[in-house]
Amino acid sequence: MAAVAYIALCILTGYVISTAVLPLKHAETVSFKGMDTGLSQLFYRLPLWFITGTMTLTWLTYIIACIMSEQNDPLFLANTIVFATAFAGIVFGFIILFRKKRIPFLSEFGKISHNEIISVILIVSVVCYLMYLTFHINGNELFTGGSVFSDFTPHLSMIRSFSRMDNFPTVYTVVAGDDVRYHFMFEFLVGNLEYLGMRIDVAFNTVSAMSLISMFSLIYVLAVRITGRKLAGGLTVLFVAFRSSWTFFTYLAGFSDYGSMIKGIAGNEEFIGITANEDWGLWNLNVYLNQRHFSFSICVMIIALLIFMPALEQTFEEMKGKWSIKNFFTVDLFSKKGFAAQEVAAPVFAGLLLGATAFFNGAVLIGTFVILFVMAVVSMRRFEYLICAVIALGLSLVQSSVFVNGSVLSTSVRPGFLSESTTIFGIGEYLFLLLGILPFILLCAFIKSDTCARWMMISAGCLIALSFVFSLTPDIAVNHKYIMLAIMILDIYAAGFICNMLSDKRITVRLTAVLAGIFMTVTGIFDFSTILNKNTDDNAIVTENDNKIMQFVNENCSSEDVFLTANYFLDGGEGSYMILSGASLYLAWQYYGWSAGYDTEQRDLVAANIYDAQEPEILKQMVRAAGIDYIVVAPANRTSEYYELNEEMISSVYPAAFSIGEGEEKVTIYKTGDVK
């Protein structure tokens, strides 16, 4: 009940803040060109309330818990203060808003059409089902889907570190140390809901579903306001959910007969792909299921675009018939009119939201910076962009200085992204294979669009271009998030172009538009069927919802205790319970630490030297130097190919604090803290 109340307080807090800063305006229901769209403000306002309030209360709860970290049960104290503060703020806010007559009226519900109602019900049902399918508890068994279990290793570990281990000050539990380089605030939100009494699967699925539904709602609003047509908004949501690619057609070409093709389509359980790592599910709907913080942060990006798009549209409207390179550099770039701000509250609001996003999902923050920068180059009211950028950058730098030792980014020039060739032709071929018919539709849309639309397409294109030149993390594949953000914006213009074709009186043009829509979505729809097949209970990683290993860790240890273990990931074995306990592991599966910028090779070497140590004093020196509080000896250590386990040495130096199982399957946890 407390967790449900927390979510309700988040939404109400968001309502008060956003309504006070961004009063309800008729402009929200019209296109950026001033055409009435018949759009209900609820498609924009409900997600805005959820994102704003959740961001505010989550950060407030976290900061207070950190301040109270020396006290017993800091989350109890933090939540008590936040509940009281939020309730008082909401009551006070409602009084002020009532006096200023800023309370939204129920007529907004009446503006939602029957088609929109059906679409909302369908989207909500599908999203909720996918969240449940990939992560749920049945009895005492926790089912983690076959398409998400790998990414869920650090996510679930961090969630439990907050709900059960009081991870303040925060460490990255899969690479325990003195900092955290991975964005973790969404996991803190879920962990806090579990702490407040909501079962972990319900907590994770609830806020994840609300985030993804909010993302679809906001992208719908952005598309309708850009194109002026609800149909284009609906097509955009369809294109975002179901990607464009040639992959499905090349997959069909691999079958020799019709019967095997039908069987393969119906029973496929692996993601298909013709480009590097495409078979990871790197580009399809599964990204929003295994990286659940992604859609939450995308909402912030879209809110920022909705705030700044009017300035860009106004610029091109006023420059109509006057646009030239000479005018731009001699008049607009340095003119007072080009920099003058019409309002301050909205850019400050956008800057605060973006800055707070840094440790919800840093990739979205960077991607939004790039797009807004390119928009600002030609837009008037540049001072508004500057206000937003300074606030967002300042907040992100403060967070980085607190959470990260050293630089949060490891920038390097990595031309070509995942394409086999780094030449312009090789990259072009890669994009052609990856994106299917989309580039051709975008080319047509670019030719037929006005200057403002073209510049927005260029802005998204710049983000793609940067993704093919630079890498901000050791793993270049992470750049796929920037490309997905750019494609999300480009899908709007593709949808607008196809929508115009459907309005053409010529039957051949309309049939071509239908065919283009099929080509745009068929691979994504097949990916969707793969997600369903891949995440059955038979393919899931099944663990006990509670376990003696977890009980020992949660009852006897704290987040400051570091456990030396094998390189665990969520596989259903004994390592899964160390992960699900929220314990701080010296080094789990290497990818999680390496991709975040940690020196995993050195940690692997230290672990190997400890597990096969031959001298007691050397063993104790290495353990002290590494800050190890517990050494776990389990089946994975006995079969390691990197060292020969010397458990006799470990057991002769350190006492066993916990043991379960027999023989080769025995799991023993040795405590090092009492030995000098």
Which residues have CB under 8 Å from 518's CB, separation 6+? none
Q: Which amino acid is at 551?
A: Q
- CA–CA gap between residue 12 and residue 7 (Å, rounded): 9
Place of tokens 């199982």: 661
- CA–CA gap between residue 79 and residue 86 (Å, rounded): 10
- CA–CA gap between residue 235 and residue 521 (Å, rounded): 10
409 or 16: which leads in pLDDT: 16
**Strand pairing report for 584-585 and 562-564:** parallel
pLDDT at 676: 62
Tell me which residue of 484, 479, 526 sits closest to 271, measured CA to CA.
526
Arithmetic mean of pLDDT over the chain: 93
When mean pLDDT is compared across 241-245, 253-257, 575-579, the lowest value belongs to 253-257
C-alpha radius of gyration, the chain, whole number: 26
* Measured CA distances, 481 to 258, 271, 288, 312 (Å): 36, 18, 11, 25
When mean pLDDT is compared across 26-30, 75-79, 203-207, 658-662, the lowest value belongs to 26-30
Place of tokens 């398409």: 147
In the predicted structure, residue 303 carries a pLDDT above the cut 70: yes
- CA–CA gap between residue 622 and residue 607 (Å, rounded): 9
| DSSP track, 593-655 | HHTTT--HHHHHHHHHHHHT---HHHHHHHHHHHT-SEEEE-HHHHT-SS----HHHHHHHS-
pLDDT at 326: 58
The Cα diameter of the chain in Å comes to: 86
223's tokens:
């598309």
Confidence of residue 27 (pLDDT cuts 50, 70, 90): low
Tell me which residue of 278, 232, 274, 303 sits closest to 496, measured CA to CA.
232
Q: Is 584 helix (H, G, I), strand (E, B) or coil?
A: strand
pLDDT at 106: 64
- CA–CA gap between residue 211 and residue 189 (Å, rounded): 12
pLDDT at 330: 47
Q: How many CB atoms lie within 10 A of CB 646?
A: 16
Q: Give the model confidence (pLDDT) of 31-50 as tens digits.
A: 999 899 999 999 999 999 99
- E strand spans, 185-270: none
* Measured CA distances, 624 to 173, 477, 611, 631, 643 (Å): 19, 36, 14, 12, 20
pLDDT at 245: 96
Reading phi first (left if > 0) and then psi (alpha if -120 to 50, else beta), residue 572 is in left
- CA–CA gap between residue 474 and residue 41 (Å, rounded): 42
End-to-end alpha carbon distance in the chain: 47
Q: Give the model confidence (pLDDT) of 57-98 as tens digits.
A: 999 999 999 999 999 999 999 999 999 999 999 999 999 888
Q: Give the model confidence (pLDDT) of 388-429 as tens digits.
A: 999 999 999 999 999 998 777 778 898 999 998 889 999 999
Tell me which residue of 197, 411, 214, 225 sits closest to 305, measured CA to CA.
225
414 or 235: which leads in pLDDT: 235
pLDDT at 457: 97
pLDDT at 3: 97
Q: Give the model confidence (pLDDT) of 442-492 as tens digits.
A: 999 999 999 899 999 999 999 999 999 998 888 899 999 999 999 999 999
Beta-bridged to residue 562, according to DSSP, are 584
122's tokens:
């369908």
Confidence of residue 331 (pLDDT cuts 50, 70, 90): very low
In the predicted structure, residue 103 carries a pLDDT above the cut 80: no
